[in-house]
Amino acid sequence: DTAVSQTPKYLVTQMGNDKSIKCEQNLGHDTMYWYKQDSKKFLKIMFSYNNKELIINETVPNRFSPKSPDKAHLNLHINSLELGDSAVYFCASSQDPGQFYEQYFGPGTRLTVT
Amino acid sequence: SQQGEEDPQALSIQEGENATMNCSYKTSINNLQWYRQNSGRGLVHLILIRSNEREKHSGRLRVTLDTSKKSSSLLITASRAADTASYFCATDGQGAQKLVFGQGTRLTINP
């Protein structure tokens, strides 16, 4: 049984396009995250939602817009894709945003912008 | 800003040997976590150590934390080929509601 799932797993698109990545968790967690992992494996948080409310919004271009329709889902929409957006995007969840809880990661979405 | 930094960046050892990876961080923390990432996969949580703990074990894993030196180490004993992966430390920073990850140590276990 998949705990945190993401779709699609691979996404190849051209510059200027708009794309979305979907994430779902069946762990009953209250908090969900989006991370970006670059080619050097550096993992950086982008957004965090707790019970559908945005609690962390790192310095991310406005072209990135997260949406949480319910606490089990957190989607990421990206407008006007740029070459520099190419990376692996990970969704994660945890019991709550407190620092004492482990995070569960999805399998990642490899985005390639050409 | 990057909080944790792993050392070494890459480590290659023979199966059966022990592997030690280090993590240094900059600001005070409430806890430190270690994660593993297999190639092409998501991160998997290994162990969490709180700031008032000095050592923690889980199976073949041993984690130490030295808050005076702002450093932690992950020891994998009796390594196996399946341990080949990247290992990341993550810290929270007091008051932060997020984890900050280092760039990881890429561990290769040679059969």
The pLDDT tens digits for B30-75 are 899 999 999 999 999 999 999 999 999 999 999 999 999 999 999 9
pLDDT of residue A100 exceeding 80:
no
Residues in chain A with CB shorter than 8 Å from the CB of B36 are none
Distance CA A99, CA A9 (A): 28
pLDDT at A103 over 70: yes
| Separation between Cα atoms, residue A2 and residue A15, nearest integer Å | 32
Write down the pLDDT at residue B1. Answer: 46
More confident residue, B94 or B32: B32
CA distance B46 to chain A (A): 9
Buried/exposed code over B16-41 (b: 16+ C-beta within 10 A; e: otherwise): eeebbbebbbeeebbbbbbbbbeeee
Model pLDDT, residue A99? 66
Which residue of chain A is at minimal alpha-carbon distance from B48? Answer: A102
Average pLDDT estimate for B67-92: 96
- CA distances, B14 to each of B48, B73, B81, B84 (Å): 27, 20, 9, 11
Band of residue A59 on the pLDDT scale cut at 50, 70, 90 = confident
Nearest to B50 by CA among B28, B19, B77: B28
Confidence tier at A17 by pLDDT (50, 70, 90): very high
Provide the sign of the torsion angle of the four alpha carbons B47, A104, A36, A98, taken in this order. negative
pLDDT at A66: 95
> What type of residue is A92?
A
A residues 55-114 closer than 8 Å to B (CB): 55-56, 90, 92, 97-100, 102-108
User: Which runs of E-coded beta strand occur in chain A?
Assistant: 4-7, 10-13, 19-25, 31-37, 43-50, 53-57, 64-70, 73-78, 87-94, 104-105, 109-113
- Name the phi and psi angles at A17, rounded to 5: -75, 165
Contact A107 B42 (CB under 8 A): yes
- The pLDDT assigned to B6 comes to 86
Report the 10 Å Cβ neighbour count for A67.
14
User: How many residues would you count in chain B?
Assistant: 111
Tell whether the model's pLDDT for residue B96 goes beyond 80: no
A54 interfacial to chain B (CB closer than 8 Å): no
pLDDT of A28 strictly over 80: yes
- Average pLDDT of the residues of chain B: 92
Count other C-beta atoms under 10 Å from residue A54's C-beta.
12
How far apart CA B38 and CA B84 sit, in angstroms, is 7
Q: What percent of chain A lies above the pLDDT cut of 70?
A: 97
Q: Residue A31: helix, strand or coil by DSSP?
A: strand
B chain contacts of residue A108, beta-carbon cutoff 8 Å: 40-42
Q: Which two tokens stand for residue B7?
A: 């050392």
Answer whether residue A71 shows pLDDT above 50: yes
